[in-house]
Chains A and B, each alone.
Chain A
Amino acid sequence: NAGVTQTPKFQVLKTGQSMTLQCAQDMNHNSMYWYRQDPGMGLRLIYYSASEGTTDKGEVPNGYNVSRLNKREFSLRLESAAPSQTSVYFCASSTGLGNTEAFFGQGTRLTVV
């Protein structure tokens, strides 16, 4: 049982380059989330998808776009990477019922130079 799978695990980008972070879950969860984690800042919500076909902005959406491709997959795109987007990115999923556990992927360590 893979749970939540994120790719890639590591990435270095040059300023202005674009890339897509992939996330897939095999637990038939309705809700999926993208967070970034920076030292001293905790986990901040970028975008989330309460269910297939819906996406909503979180706390720090600027510079990012998302696609909920189907129930399993939720991708995060950086159209023009900036050094301020250097961070660790986590994808998570949950049933969306409110009182259930969220499961996280292993994270993507992104460096923008």
Chain B
Amino acid sequence: RKEVEQDPGPFNVPEGATVAFNCTYSNSASQSFFWYRQDCRKEPKLLMSVYSSGNEDGRFTAQLNRASQYISLLIRDSKLSDSATYLCVVIHYGNNRLAFGKGNQVVVIP
């Protein structure tokens, strides 16, 4: 089983709609969780950290469920500029390696 699993999609989303997707991780000792955004042919950049209590940044909401070992990302009121690949990142205790999922590709349609 992969360390971090994501459904690659694509997720075709009408402009203004809400889209949500999950990422599951296999190692229960995982320490920290993040969502990164990657635009086509560019480097990944941090979108937001994911805290145990959940957190929100504007139209973006991230949740962590340790019992079921998944994190989620919800995008409200989707904009054309939200079209990108969203990468789930998990860091493990002890070695601080960043493990990436394959990413969720989001395409916002006018």
Contact = CB atoms under 8 A, between A and B. Distances in A.
- Co-complex (A, B): yes
Interface residues of A, number: 26
B8 A45 contact: no
Interface string A12-36: 0000000000000000000101010
Contacts of B45: 104
Given A99-B32, A99-B91, A104 B96 contact: no
Interface string A31-72: 101010000111111001010000010100000000000000
Contacts of A94: 96, 98
A33 B102 CA distance: 17
Interface string B81-110: 000000101010101111111110000000
B31 A104 contact: no
B98 A41 contact: no
Contacts of A98: 31-32, 91, 93, 96
A58 B96 CA distance: 12
Contacts of A48: 97
Contact of B44 (A40, A96, A97, A104): A104
A97 B102 CA distance: 24
Contacts of A56: 95
Interface in A61-112: 90, 92, 94, 96-99, 101-102, 104-107
A73 to B, nearest CB: 18
A104 B43 contact: yes
A86 to B, nearest CB: 15
B72 interface: no
Nearest to B3: A59
B90 to A, nearest CB: 11
B19 to A, nearest CB: 20
A40 B102 contact: yes
Interface of A: 31, 33, 35, 40-45, 48, 50, 56, 58, 90, 92, 94, 96-99, 101-102, 104-107
Given A99-B49, A105-B43, 5 more contacts: A33-B97, A42-B6, A45-B98, A94-B98, A98-B32
